[in-house]
Amino acid sequence: TIVVQDAVSAASSLSEGWHVLGFSWSTKNKNIVYLTVGTNGTVNITDVDFNIDGDILDKIDPVSSITDYGSISTRRFSVSLSDFIKISNGKNVKMKVTQINGYTVSSFGSDNQSAIVNTKFSPFLKDLHQLKLQF
């Protein structure tokens, strides 16, 4: 079984870096959530970090060996289910997407209501609950 949320905007304003965030989970790796992180243009994404209400989540493992290029460049990473829940419950979450020559930051969470990704966490977690996943 696979639960997928396609990548949607993870930026709360136009003055921030334009980022997308998607996520997926499968019964194959029940304690892992795979993140699809993206930004506009053709750039090489090297890392993603999160500041969740002042708690830093970094050293996130890449899953894909390279960035997928197109009008949106994306790369996949993995986090533990418990870290994903922290991200989804954050009031003020800053997502830092690092490229070879710099980085951009976007924000989402309950204090940043205009980010579309905020509306996607609850249905995703509800689907996991329906699979009787304990967390």
Q: What is the pLDDT of residues 83-135, one digit of tens each?
A: 999 999 999 999 999 999 999 999 999 999 899 999 999 999 999 999 876 65
Span 9-33, average pLDDT = 94
3-state secondary structure of 58: coil
- CB distance 128 to 24 below 8 Å: no
Q: What is the pLDDT of residues 35-90, one digit of tens each?
A: 999 999 899 999 999 999 999 999 999 999 999 998 899 999 999 999 999 999 99
d(CA 22, CA 4): 8
